[in-house]
Structure formats: C-alpha cells, structure tokens
C-alpha cells in the first residue's frame, strides 16, 4: 500500500516545496470519480515502498483550490490524473492520464536523487 500524504492545505503545499530541496516530491492529482484516474492511481500503487521521494496525493474533488494553485504555481495545465515531480521548488516532470507510468517515474526520481546528491557535495 502506498504511503500517501494527503495534500489539503496551503501550508502543506509550501512545506512540500521546501522538502523538494532535500529530496524529490511527487504530487499525484487524482479524481476518485474518474475511471482513468482510478487506473492511474492503481498503477501508482506500484511505487509503494519507494523511499527516494515524498509522495503527496491531491483529491481534486475535495481539494480543488489546492489543485488549481499547484497548476498555477508550477505552470502546468490542470489535469486529473496528473503526476508532477517537484525538485528544488520547480516542476521538473509532469505527465497525465495514461502517460503516468510508474517505471518512468521511478527512473526520473532516481535520476533527480543522483543529481541532488552530486550538487550537495
């Protein structure tokens, strides 16, 4: 089971930005009423046990204002489902719908962790 941090407040949104300076942060925007989103959510469960990143979940129905703020702040088109990878306060990767692939996300996270470690030395 994936260890999601549910993102519901502006304070959490700001803290994830700060956290992204330490390790990659994956934000998954999800609509529990959408079958495509449910399929992507189930695929994301394959990321369970990955400690290389922090994983935040935004329910776009319950937390629409936060979802819209994220789209605006990171200059991405609001979509659901959508996966955003945040590093050093910037969106370095975004994908939506059937393009959300756990293997690709794992590789992106690994690459960014390596870059972050190299930059901290």
> How confident is the model over 99-111, as pLDDT tens digits?
999 999 999 999 9
Mean pLDDT computed over 44-73: 94
Query: What global pTM score does this model have?
Result: 0.95
C-beta of residue 80 within 8 angstroms of C-beta of residue 67: yes
Nearest to 60 by CA among 78, 76, 36, 84: 78
What pLDDT does residue 20 have? 97
Structural domains in the chain, sorted by start: 5-120 (3.40.30.10)
| Percentage of the chain lying above the pLDDT 90 cut | 91
- At 120, the pLDDT band (50, 70, 90 cuts) reads confident
Pair 112, 119: CB distance under 8 Å: no
Q: What's the CA gap between 19 and 46, in Å, rounded?
A: 23
- Of 113, 119, 68, 87, whose CA–CA distance to 17 is shortest? 87
> Residue 121: is its pLDDT beyond 80?
no
């Amino acid at each position: 089971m994936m260890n999601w941090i549910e993102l519901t407040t502006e304070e959490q949104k700001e803290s994830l930005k700060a956290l992204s300076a330490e390790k990659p942060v994956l934000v998954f925007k999800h609509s529990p009423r959408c079958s495509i989103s449910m399929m992507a959510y189930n695929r994301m469960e394959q990321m369970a046990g990955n400690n290389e990143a922090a994983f935040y979940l935004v329910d776009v129905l319950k937390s629409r204002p936060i979802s819209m703020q994220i789209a605006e702040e990171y200059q991405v088109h609001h979509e659901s489902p959508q996966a955003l990878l945040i590093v050093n306060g910037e969106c370095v990767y975004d994908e939506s719908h059937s393009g959300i692939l756990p293997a690709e996300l794992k590789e992106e996270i690994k690459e960014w962790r390596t870059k972050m470690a190299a930059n901290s030395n």
